[in-house]
């Protein structure tokens, strides 16, 4: 049997097992009472939306099956599709609009693909032609991929650089290998070149990560925060410092040799996309099935729940956008899943 087919069979078996387990998990309580009149479903019947970005009222999002779509004036339109390797946790993942999007219309996506039986990830630039997009530039390629642990979040930082989270591709030792792009946070210019102030003269910004799923910058300090899945619980919220080692697979939730997380979850919530609103960090959780409010004093509270697994959270002005992930093989989808919700924060 070809390697690609073997990977698909392994992924299907794994997802079935996890789905059976998760069917026994109760759906969280309805949205908090004070939010019920401020939540609007702006898209439904989606197929595993993975990342959201917003500009001028337009909501762009990826679907893991290989689509890039936009919601504009209440209408959903597909503006790019690609034959990606939607195997396990792979597929069309991260999304970022260019900081000068209103001028150049560039969009960047992170996706999984198969080459000669091997799974890889890459980041590409999409350029607009008429009303659709095509791939115009590969920024970074041959990021190790696997059925699990592909990372995949991409965002532009306040410094104008593109930051990319990569998983360990189910090979934990790669997270400590500075010759591998796996298990890292990468930092590059938007043309794919390497910034001269990167710590290792390579795209690598930090390392020792298992499966980082979210990044966000504090609006005042401009410090970089990251969410990461642990092996069994031990999910982490980290403050990311250039050149630092975050310990995986030697340690999790380090308190000794490696960078100590800001917070370590003793019960798995599978934190994913992140965004700041004022001084608070909002974190989408998959297994936790809620958006969590995390203060800089390490106080935690549930902000919204009741819609199942949540993959991404984005804040634009006084509005929060969240994407559910109930069709990802690990949830219990309702008939109109998956959804993108818009929530007024005022």
Dist CA 19 CA 25 (whole Å):
10
| Res. 212: pLDDT tops 50 | yes
Dist CA 253 CA 136 (whole Å):
40
Dist CA 32 CA 17 (whole Å):
31
Domains of the chain and CATH, by start: 3-9+47-344 (2.120.10.30)
Dist CA 291 CA 219 (whole Å):
19
What element of type H or E holds 18?
helix 3-23
CA atoms within 13 A on the CB side of 7: 23
With H, G, I as helix, E, B as strand and everything else as coil, classify residue 3. helix
What are the pLDDT digits (tens) for 30-85? 444 456 679 999 999 999 999 999 999 999 999 999 999 999 999 999 999 999 99
What are the pLDDT digits (tens) for 128-150? 998 889 999 999 999 999 999 99
149 is catalytic: yes
First-to-last C-alpha distance (Å) of the chain: 56
Measured from the Cβ of residue 98, the count of other Cβ atoms closer than 10 Å reads 18
pLDDT at 5: 52
Dist CA 242 CA 77 (whole Å):
39
Segment 262-281 shows an average pLDDT of 96
- To which residue do tokens 């690598």 refer? 204
Cα 163 from chain centroid?
12
Query: How high does pLDDT run on average in the chain?
Result: 91
For residue 209 the two structure tokens come to 């990560």
Give the C-alpha distances (Å, rounded to integers) separating 269 from 79, 147, 211, 237: 33, 20, 13, 11
Residue of 134, 149, 189, 218 with catalytic role: 149
pLDDT at 37: 77
Q: Which residues, listed in sequence order, are joined to residue 92 by a DSSP beta bridge?
A: 111
Backbone angles phi, psi at 175, to 5 degrees: -65, -25
Backbone angles phi, psi at 23, to 5 degrees: -65, -20
């Amino acid at each position: 049997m070809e390697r690609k087919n073997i990977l698909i069979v392994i992924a299907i078996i794994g997802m079935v097992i996890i789905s059976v387990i998760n069917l026994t998990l109760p759906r969280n309580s309805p949205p908090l009472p004070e939010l019920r009149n401020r939540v609007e479903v702006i898209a439904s019947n989606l197929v595993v939306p993975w990342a959201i970005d917003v500009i001028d009222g337009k909501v762009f999002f990826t679907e893991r099956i290989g689509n890039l779509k936009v919601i504009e004036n209440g209408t959903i339109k597909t503006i790019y599709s690609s034959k990606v390797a939607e195997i396990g946790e792979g597929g069309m993942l991260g999304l970022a609009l260019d900081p000068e999007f209103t001028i150049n219309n560039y969009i960047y996506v992170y996706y999984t693909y198969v080459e000669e039986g091997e799974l890889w990830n890459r980041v590409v630039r999409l350029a607009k032609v008429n009303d659709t997009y095509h791939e115009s530039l590969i920024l970074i390629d041959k990021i190790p991929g696997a059925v699990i642990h592909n990372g995949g979040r991409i965002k532009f930082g306040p410094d104008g650089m593109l930051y990319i989270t990569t998983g360990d591709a189910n090979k934990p030792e790669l997270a400590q290998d500075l010759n591998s792009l796996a298990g890292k946070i990468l930092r590059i210019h938007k043309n794919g070149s390497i910034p001269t102030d990167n710590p290792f003269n390579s795209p690598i910004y930090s390392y020792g990560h298992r499966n980082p799923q979210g990044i966000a910058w504090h609006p005042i300090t401009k410090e970089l925060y990251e969410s990461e899945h642990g092996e069994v619980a031990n999910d982490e919220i980290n403050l990311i410092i250039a050149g630092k080692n975050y310990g995986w697979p030697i340690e999790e939730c380090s308190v000794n040799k490696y960078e100590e997380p800001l917070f370590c979850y003793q019960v798995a919530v599978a934190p994913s996309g992140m965004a700041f609103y004022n001084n608070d960090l909002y974190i989408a959780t998959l297994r936790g099935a809620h958006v969590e409010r995390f203060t800089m004093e390490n106080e935690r509270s549930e902000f919204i729940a009741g819609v199942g697994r949540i993959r991404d959270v984005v804040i634009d002005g006084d509005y929060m956008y969240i994407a559910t992930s109930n069709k990802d093989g690990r949830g219990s989808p309702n008939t109109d899943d998956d959804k993108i919700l818009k929530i007024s924060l005022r």
